A and B are shown apart, each in its own frame.
Chain A
Amino acid sequence: MLGKLDWSAIPFDQPIPLIAGAVVLVAILAVLTWVVVKGHLPYLWSEWITSVDHKRIGVMYILLASVMLLRGGSDAIMMRIQQAVAYQSQGYLPPEHYNQIFSAHGTIMIFFVAMPFVIGLMNLIVPLQLGVRDVAFPTLNSVGFWLTATGALLVNLSLVVGEFARTGWLAFPPLSELSYSPGVGVDYYAWSLQISGVGTLVAGINLVTTVLKLRTKGMNYLRMPMFCWTTLASNLLIVAAFPILTATLAMLLLDRYLGFHFFTNEAGGNVMMFMNLIWAWGHPEVYILVLPAFGIFSEVVSTFSGKALFGYRSMVLATMAICVISFMVWLHHFFTMGAGPDVNAIFGIASMIIAIPTGVKIYNWLFTMYGGRIRFATPMLWSVGFMVTFIVGGLTGVLLAVPPADFMLHNSMFLVAHFHNVIIGGVLFGAFAGFEYWFPKAFGFRLDERWGKLAFWFTFLGFFITFVPLYIAGMLGMTRRMQHYDVAAWRPWMIVAAIGMAVLTIGVICQIVQIVVSIRNREALRDRTGDPWDGRSLEWATSSPPPVFNFAFNPDVRGEDAYWDMKARAQQQSLERDRPEYQDIEMPRNSPTGFVCAFFATIMGFALIWHIWWMVILGGLGAWATFVVFAWRDHDEYVIPAEEVAAIDRVNLEERRDLVSMAGTV
């Protein structure tokens, strides 16, 4: 009746996950109770959970990422402490627990922090920058988000019901095959990624279509803000790469569930095929993450330098070059598998070639600052911090692309330090910069600068204190994923890294404090103009937060940096002079399709993990029925009457007129 599930699945003998799970459960229940008692549930349901508004969905993506960042961060803290104490001892985490933690840390940080964070920012901003009212497929957008949330839920469920994978975040066979990992850990891993992978694919298709087909009048390709370009590149990569992940995990699951022989030791299975397939997805994946971050830095550097982006065409070219080349380098993840020297050298050089467009980007940001009038608001701090950090990560990356160097450094702590260097220094700094930069747009008030700067400095320093020791440990021969070790020379560096982790944690706390303080002082920090940073692209042309329809009129774009151009024009003519008559606006209706579909996906995923077949069928039927019901509805849009649009827009214009007169003095 319940498949493999019974009471022994609950880890009563392991206090740490049990307590952690209990705390999370209590917290969730407390929040739910508060929501219900205070009567917020109808509001949450109608305005957020069922919302198909790209801005709301973007915010929910970012919220999910932030919560999961805390979970993944706790894993990181536990790992750093373990390695600091586990010298000639077992430390405080037994191997089967430690191995789950590093697997969960990697999985969560990539799939449920970095991905939702960048997808959230793209969702929130790209339609605004393109000057349109929503993404191409608003309801599917909601489905995509909720499926991602399902994946995150399943990963966290593994904390208290069963176990998570003990194989590392890519679950290499044959270790992840049924014979060597008979538990449900790998199943949790694979099904949560399959489900959230569908969500990611949907988001990718949606954003590609949005950028290519939904741009406002005059928004030619070469007038799009840089963030739209990197969004396009990143989502093209999602569309081309995520199906590979889906297929690869499907093969692994077939091996585990039905006794297939894709990657088994027996009957002619081929583990090297897994390595090739997973990295054919895995390498583009890192560019999926970092390209949007590059876009954010381009926006931030240009805005805060008070200049258009230097070498815009070069930047576009570099972005698309990275997009294409990223598919031709996957083999550098296993130079040590014994491929011949020709193959290794070709892929090594191909990997270095990616450094060229990336280097060009760094120089273009540099020259954007040159001759600028730089304001060091928090987003700009993150951007300059990124440039310095990322260049170090780029150096070590190119070093690892030299096969003979990789023969010494492969899988070492040096490698761990390298990819944290690019993912924290690139993606996370980018996400934080974007968060600080666009927060006023999403919520209508700015974030507290003092706490923001503190957060930056602690994170920046904490990053170096944590990861420079790992670079050194790697040079001392230390490999990754060691639950304990007997080499005295490694120990001091592990202790320093643990201290660095503490500093990083302070950075994260500062960020939480920053949000709390800002919410409390929101009246003082209110952004009435919609343009708090003297911005250049169209998202600043509407109010903060924008009305549900974004723009009363689809803007007419006449050049790059569309809003900057409008502001410059407005010095001669008042903003509303050439405004035509207000018209009714049709917007898509909210729909619970995404939430209900994710509910059934959760049931189905859980049932698949525990082999509860009747429940699998139930979940599958439910999901299909949800879509049929959605397809059957008669009214998928509602109309906002022209008078209402006019009223909302006039308020915005009143506020804005003051700003324009001020901007006129620039």
Chain B
Amino acid sequence: MNLLDPQGPVAAANSTILVDSVFIMLVIVVPTIFAILGFAFWFRASNPKARYQPDFVYSGRVEMVVWAIPALTVILLGGVAWIGSHQLDPAAPVPGTGSPVRIQAVSLDWKWLFIYPDQRIATVNTLTVPAGAELNFQLTSSSVMNTFFIPQLGSMIYTMNGMVTKLNLRADNEGKLKGLSAHFSGDGFPDMMFDVNVISPLAFPDWVAATAKSDAVLNEDSYRKLMQQGIEKGKPAYRLEDPRLFDLIANQHIPPGPGPELISDAGRPHSGGHDAR
């Protein structure tokens, strides 16, 4: 999950900006740190060679430089930020080979549901994508906020109930990656890590076909069961009954997921976390 080992163009561009920005700043920061330590050491009271200049408290030239150095750095970095924000807008498409894959991700308490509307399948806690293809994500949440993040593919984005956020990514190399929720969402939050299988574009249709044969069906009823609070240890896969399911969730046609069940009137509710363990 190393951010400096990107597996897609978005992550690569993000981490390049990250590293470049650090180096731009280090150019200023390192000499400053040395100057602090150097001045502090040289002008120690016990150093007879250091000249005491109690009246050196104002110098127009020094002030000029002192304002200019951070200002110039920020102008440079501001340019990086402006260009980077526009080039790496999560909603901007990331061209790839082959036809784009549409994926609708829903954060549930506490698992990820990935709906492939065009392929009529859905998976939980496993995201399987073809290498090299443009991935168009639409994201929403069944209940509380979460953040969808695959560190080695780049940009993260919030999921919120009643709203759809957009994210475009591309995975360049086949292999297994990890994704996670990067916004705390309750007791089962640490179990919201999911597997990302990047497979060859040729194998993808086979995987779709195999998944579509699943006995389990995802429709409104099974979705309502799935959105109960709890942790999913397995990796179920579903045949998708209605490709409009995501829209029903996002426009709150299916009401938001329930919270924990109260077993007593007391201050401490029965926690979903107990089931989790």
A and B, one complex?
Answer: yes
Binding site for B on A (CB under 8 A): 4-6, 8-9, 11, 90, 94-96, 99, 161-163, 166-168, 172, 174-175, 179-185, 265-266, 271-272, 305-312, 314, 334, 336-338, 340-342, 344-345, 348-349, 352-353, 355-356, 358-360, 362-364, 366-376, 384, 387-388, 391-392, 394-395, 398-399, 401-405, 407-412, 475-487, 489, 610
Residue B209 lies at the interface, judged by CB distance under 8 Å to chain A: no
Q: Which 4 residue pairs spanning A and B have beta carbons closest together?
A: A477-B1, A359-B70, A371-B53, A477-B151
Q: Are B268 and A411 in contact (CB under 8 A)?
A: no
Q: Are B143 and A180 in contact (CB under 8 A)?
A: yes
Q: Which residues of A contact B174 (CB under 8 A)?
A: none
Report how far A581 CA is from B36 CA in the complex, Å.
49
Residue B155 lies at the interface, judged by CB distance under 8 Å to chain A: yes
Q: Which residue of A99, A266, A409, A484 contacts B18 across the interface (Cβ within 8 Å)?
A: A409
Q: Which residue of B2, B62, B166 contacts A477 across the interface (Cβ within 8 Å)?
A: B2
Q: Which residues of A contact B267 (CB under 8 A)?
A: 4-5, 8-9, 161-163, 183-185, 610
In this complex, what residue of B is CB-closest to A399? Answer: B21
Known: A337-B158, A407-B154. A363 touches B2 (CB 8 A): no
Residue B175 lies at the interface, judged by CB distance under 8 Å to chain A: no
Selecting from B96-104, B113-121, B183-191, B213-221, the interface stretch reads B183-191
Q: Which residues of B contact A314 (CB under 8 A)?
A: 63, 66-67
Selecting from B124-132, B198-206, B235-243, B269-277, the interface stretch reads B269-277
List 19 A-B residue pairs with CB atoms under 8 Å apart, sorted by A's residue number. A6-B266, A179-B256, A308-B54, A311-B59, A311-B66, A342-B86, A345-B81, A345-B86, A355-B70, A363-B32, A363-B66, A366-B36, A370-B56, A371-B54, A372-B53, A373-B45, A374-B44, A398-B25, A405-B18
Q: Are A408 and B151 in contact (CB under 8 A)?
A: yes
Q: How far is the CB of B99 from chain A (nearest CB, A)?
A: 25
Q: Which residues of A contact B59 (CB under 8 A)?
A: 311, 367
Q: Which residues of A contact B52 (CB under 8 A)?
A: 306, 371-373
Residue B165 lies at the interface, judged by CB distance under 8 Å to chain A: yes
Q: Are A168 and B184 in contact (CB under 8 A)?
A: yes
Q: Are A162 and B268 in contact (CB under 8 A)?
A: yes
**Interface centre among A163, A167, A368, A408, by most B CB within 10 Å?**
A408
Q: Are B182 and A362 in contact (CB under 8 A)?
A: no
Q: Which residues of B contact A345 (CB under 8 A)?
A: 81-82, 85-86
Report how far A340 CA is from B160 CA in the complex, Å.
16
Q: Which residues of A contact B160 (CB under 8 A)?
A: 271-272, 337
Interface size, B (range): 35 or more
Report how far A371 CA is from B54 CA in the complex, Å.
7
Q: Which residues of A contact B184 (CB under 8 A)?
A: 99, 167-168, 172, 175, 480-481
Q: How far is the CB of A180 from chain B (nearest CB, A)?
A: 4
Q: Which residues of A contact B50 (CB under 8 A)?
A: 373
Q: Which residues of A contact B248 (CB under 8 A)?
A: none
Known: A311-B59, A369-B40, A476-B2. 17 other contacts (CB 8 A): A94-B274, A99-B186, A185-B267, A306-B52, A311-B66, A341-B86, A345-B86, A348-B81, A352-B78, A353-B74, A363-B66, A370-B39, A371-B51, A395-B29, A404-B14, A404-B84, A479-B180
Residue B193 lies at the interface, judged by CB distance under 8 Å to chain A: yes
Report how far A651 CA is from B85 CA in the complex, Å.
66
Q: Are B255 and A403 in contact (CB under 8 A)?
A: no
Q: Are B66 and A360 in contact (CB under 8 A)?
A: yes
Q: Which residues of chain B (126-174) have a CB below 8 Å from chain A?
A: 143-145, 147, 149, 151-152, 154-158, 160-162, 165-166
Q: Are B43 and A403 in contact (CB under 8 A)?
A: no
Q: How far is the CB of A300 from chain B (nearest CB, A)?
A: 13
Q: How far is the CB of B236 from chain A (nearest CB, A)?
A: 19
Q: Are B58 and A311 in contact (CB under 8 A)?
A: yes
Q: How far is the CB of A477 from chain B (nearest CB, A)?
A: 3
Q: Which residues of A contact B208 (CB under 8 A)?
A: none
Q: Which residues of B contact A404 (CB under 8 A)?
A: 13-14, 17-18, 81, 84-85, 87-88, 155
Report how far A180 CA is from B109 CA in the complex, Å.
10
Q: Are A476 and B54 in contact (CB under 8 A)?
A: no
Report how far A489 CA is from B2 CA in the complex, Å.
9
Report how far A410 CA is from B269 CA in the complex, Å.
31
Q: Which residues of A contact B186 (CB under 8 A)?
A: 99, 166, 175, 180
Q: Which residue of B45, B80, B259 contacts A375 across the interface (Cβ within 8 Å)?
A: B45
In this complex, what residue of A is CB-closest to B191? Answer: A484
Known: A401-B81, A484-B190. A340 touches B3 (CB 8 A): no
In this complex, what residue of B is CB-closest to A301? Answer: B40
Q: Are B143 and A309 in contact (CB under 8 A)?
A: no
Q: Are A372 and B43 in contact (CB under 8 A)?
A: yes
Known: A338-B166, A352-B78. A407 touches B88 (CB 8 A): yes
Q: Are A180 and B144 in contact (CB under 8 A)?
A: yes
Q: Which residues of B contact A481 (CB under 8 A)?
A: 184, 189
Q: Are A336 and B81 in contact (CB under 8 A)?
A: no
Q: Are B81 and A408 in contact (CB under 8 A)?
A: no
Known: A311-B58, A348-B85, A366-B39. A265 touches B187 (CB 8 A): no
Q: Are A366 and B35 in contact (CB under 8 A)?
A: yes
Q: Are B190 and A483 in contact (CB under 8 A)?
A: yes
Residue B57 lies at the interface, judged by CB distance under 8 Å to chain A: yes
Q: Which residue of B11, B43, B87 contacts A369 across the interface (Cβ within 8 Å)?
A: B43
**Interface centre among A310, A399, A403, by most B CB within 10 Å?**
A403
Q: Which residues of B contact A174 (CB under 8 A)?
A: 143-145, 161, 256
Q: Are B66 and A305 in contact (CB under 8 A)?
A: no
Instruction: Map CB proximity to A onto B17-31 as digits: 1 under 8 Å, 0 otherwise.
Output: 110011001101100
Q: Which residues of A contact B37 (CB under 8 A)?
A: 384, 388
Q: Which residues of A contact B262 (CB under 8 A)?
A: 182
Q: How far is the CB of B90 from chain A (nearest CB, A)?
A: 7
Q: Which residues of A contact B77 (CB under 8 A)?
A: 352, 398, 402
Report how far A610 CA is from B266 CA in the complex, Å.
9
In this complex, what residue of B is CB-closest to A335? Answer: B85
Report how far A91 CA is from B73 CA in the complex, Å.
44
Q: Are B162 and A395 in contact (CB under 8 A)?
A: no
In this complex, what residue of B is CB-closest to A269? Answer: B162
Q: Are B155 and A338 in contact (CB under 8 A)?
A: no
**Interface centre among B29, B166, B258, by most A CB within 10 Å?**
B29
Q: How far is the CB of A308 from chain B (nearest CB, A)?
A: 4
Q: Are B268 and A265 in contact (CB under 8 A)?
A: no
Known: A4-B266, A349-B78, A371-B51. A479 touches B149 (CB 8 A): yes
Report how far A489 CA is from B5 CA in the complex, Å.
14
Q: How far is the CB of A397 from chain B (nearest CB, A)?
A: 10
Q: How far is the CB of A568 from chain B (nearest CB, A)?
A: 11
Q: Which residues of A contact B154 (CB under 8 A)?
A: 407-408
In this complex, what residue of A is CB-closest to B79? Answer: A349
Report how far A565 CA is from B265 CA in the complex, Å.
67
Q: Are A8 and B264 in contact (CB under 8 A)?
A: yes
Report how far A184 CA is from B265 CA in the complex, Å.
11
Q: Are B273 and A4 in contact (CB under 8 A)?
A: no
Residue B123 lies at the interface, judged by CB distance under 8 Å to chain A: no
Report how far A308 CA is from B57 CA in the complex, Å.
6
Report how far A5 CA is from B51 CA in the complex, Å.
70
Report how far A454 CA is from B39 CA in the complex, Å.
23
Q: Are A489 and B1 in contact (CB under 8 A)?
A: yes
Q: Which residues of B contact A175 (CB under 8 A)?
A: 144-145, 184-186
Q: Which residues of A contact B269 (CB under 8 A)?
A: 182-183
Q: Are A360 and B17 in contact (CB under 8 A)?
A: no
Q: How far is the CB of A347 from chain B (nearest CB, A)?
A: 10
Q: Are A336 and B45 in contact (CB under 8 A)?
A: no
In this complex, what residue of A is CB-closest to B186? Answer: A175
**Interface centre among A90, A359, A388, A394, by most B CB within 10 Å?**
A359
Q: Which residues of B contact A352 (CB under 8 A)?
A: 74, 77-78, 81
Report how far A58 CA is from B54 CA in the complex, Å.
33
Q: Are B265 and A408 in contact (CB under 8 A)?
A: no
Residue B181 lies at the interface, judged by CB distance under 8 Å to chain A: yes
Q: How far is the CB of A89 from chain B (nearest CB, A)?
A: 11
Report how far A359 CA is from B65 CA in the complex, Å.
11
Report how far A505 CA is from B81 CA in the complex, Å.
39
